[in-house]
Amino acid sequence: MIIWIASYPKSGNTWVRSFLTAYYFCENGFFDIDKLNLIEDYPNKQFFRETVKKGEIHKHWESSQKNICDQKKAKFLKTHNSLITAFGNDFTKPQYSLGVIYVIRDPRNVITSVKNHNDLESYEKALKFMQDENKVLEDYPHLKNYAKTNIVNSWRINYQSWMSNKSFRRLTIRYEDMVKKPQETFEKLVVFVNTIVRSKDKIDPNKLNKAIETTNFKSLQDIENQGKFGENVYSLKDKRKIKFFYQGPENDWKKNLDKRMIKKMNEYYQKDLKFFKYEI
């Protein structure tokens, strides 16, 4: 069955995925970038037996997840897809999903990463991107294969879709807590995973510490700078490689956004910010 690592884009999903790779798949918790692909990105072409046509990704969700579950073992999958029903097709179902780790990040910091990652010209365009309730992200269109189509919706719809789910267990972690209290946050993550897979293993403190140390933002940024990280995107304007690990913990909305944008986002996301106990 599937353990989802879900989030809106640029919220810390890859960080969580890297930590889980280090703790569960690497010797002594020392992160090996070559093993990151053991936690795959879903949806993606390797899960489907046929070419996915534009606008038809929903037709392939159930059959692909059934194939995964037929292997009779727990499998981590990363996704940015909302937990939605599209044309009568559920993104996932309880019989395929053990639980979800949902990663949330302050939208006022998400916006800077969204702007950078998508090579957008302004914060206004980045905010429009985040507020688009019908937002769909597609890869491989040049191959006429839409297997990596994520229906992400808006930042708000994305988190609400996963957090309103009552069908399987969920752990919600804040990006900011991974930064400020990594020991407590990642320990909680391991306990959650071990619980839903019914593992009696106790937390290995040395392995936990090494996994935290070797997957912190600086370590991941160093790996990218060495050319070992292979999930970058490229600018459509000038074909340059866009930095994936951009600002990380240094991403501070108080410094990056002007007063007008701060006011605009505070008003729009007021209830969300209060719900997640973010400063307003």
pLDDT digits 0-9 by tens, 149-178: 999 999 999 999 999 999 999 999 999 999
* Spans of the chain, pLDDT less than 50: 232-236, 238, 241, 243
- pLDDT digits 0-9 by tens, 136-149: 998 765 667 799 99
DSSP 29-87: G---GGGGGGSEESS-GGG-SSPPPTT-GGGTHHHHHHHHHTT-S-EEEEE---S-EET
At 141 the pLDDT is: 59
At 105 the pLDDT is: 96
**pLDDT averaged over every residue in the chain:** 90
Q: What is the DSSP letter of 107?
A: H
Is 0.85 topped by the overall pTM? yes
DSSP 171-232: EEEEHHHHHH-HHHHHHHHHHHHHHHTT--PPP-HHHHHHHHHHTSHHHHHHHHHTT-----
At 246 the pLDDT is: 53
At 232 the pLDDT is: 47
CATH fourth-level superfamily of 2-106+133-229: P-loop containing nucleotide triphosphate hydrolases (3.40.50.300)
| HSE-up of residue 159 (Cα within 13 Å, Cβ side) | 23
At 235 the pLDDT is: 43
DSSP 111-132: HHHHHHHTT-S-HHHHHHHHH-
